[in-house]
Structure 1
Amino acid sequence: MIAPHIDFHRGGHAYARAYLELFKQGQPDVVIIFGVAHISPPAPFVLTRKAFDTPFGALTTDQDLVRQLEAACSWDPYAYEMVHRTEHSIEFQAVMLSYLYGPNVRIVPILCSTFGSELGGVEPADIAGVETFLESCQDIVATLGRRVSVIAGADLAHVGRRFGDAFDISEPIVEGVAERDREDLEYVTAGDADGFYRSVMQDRNERRICGLNCIYASLKTVARSGATGELLHYDYAHDPAGGIVSFADVVFA
Structure 2
Amino acid sequence: MEKKKMAFAGSWYPATDVECEAAIQGFLKEKQGPCNGRFVGGIVPHAGWYFSGSIACRVIASLQSDEKVDTVFLFGAHMHKQSEPFILTHGAIETPFGQIEVDKELVDKICADIGISKRSAHKFPDDNTFELQYPFIKYFFPHAKIVVCGVAPSAFAPVIGSMAVEEAKDLSRTVRFIGSTDMTHYGPDFGFTSAGTGEKAVEWVKNQNDRHAIKAMIEMDASDIIAQGLENKNMCCSGAAAATAAACKKYGAVKAVELDYATSFDKSASKSFVGYSGILYALS
Question: Which is worse superposed, 163-172 or 3-12?
Answer: 163-172
Q: Which amino acid aligns with 1:28?
A: V
Provide closer, same or farther for how the CA distance between residues 242 and 27 of structure 1 changes in structure 2, counting only shifts above 3 A.
farther
Residue equivalent to 1:212? 238
Report the 3-state secondary structure (helix = DSSP H, G, I; strand = E; otherwise coil) of the residue aligned with 2:132. Answer: helix
Q: What is the TM-score normalised by the length of structure 2?
A: 0.73
Q: CA RMSD in A?
A: 2.8
Counterpart amino acid of residue 189 in structure 1? I
Amino acid at match of 1:233: D
Answer yes or no: is the 8 Å Cα contact 2:253–2:281 preserved in 1.
no
TM value normalised by structure 1: 0.81
Structure 1 residues 183, 240: CA separation in 2 closer, same or farther (over 3 Å shift)? closer
Q: Aligned in 2, Cα 1:144/1:114: closer, same or farther, shift over 3 Å?
A: same
* 1:56 positional shift: 0.3
Contact 1:162 1:241 in 2 (8 A): no
Is the 1:44–1:113 Cα contact (8 Å) retained in structure 2? yes
Give the 3-state SS of the residue equivalent to 2:258 in structure 1.
strand
Question: For 1:176, which of 194, 200, 204 is the aligned residue?
Answer: 204
Name the CA shift for 1:89/1:26 in 2 (closer, same or farther; >3 Å): farther
Equivalent pair of 2:158/2:242 in contact (CA under 8 Å):
no
Query: Does the 8 Å contact 1:235/1:248 carry over to 2?
Result: yes
Alignment of 1:55-204 (within 5 A): 55-74=96-115, 76-78=117-119, 82=123, 84-102=124-142, 104-115=143-154, 124=155, 132-165=159-192, 169-178=197-206, 179-201=208-230, 204=231
User: Please, which runs of 5 or more residues in structure 1 have no aligned partner?
Assistant: 116-123
CA 1:76 to 1:2, structure 2 compared with 1: closer, same or farther past 3 Å? closer
Which deviates more, 160-169 or 67-76? 160-169
Paired residue secondary structure (2:274) = strand
Partner of 1:233: 260
State the Cα distance separating 1:175 from its structure 2 match: 1.2
Structure 1's 13 and 79: CA in aligned 2 closer, same or farther, altered over 3 A? closer
Structure 1 residue 6, shift from structure 2 partner: 0.9
Q: Residues of 1 paired with 2:111 and 2:127: CA distance?
A: 20
Q: Partner amino acid for 1:172?
A: K
* Structure 2 spans left out of the alignment, 5+ residues: 1-41
Equivalence for 2:23: none
- 3-state SS, counterpart of residue 138 of structure 2: helix
Residue 249 in 1 paired to residue 278 in 2?
A: yes
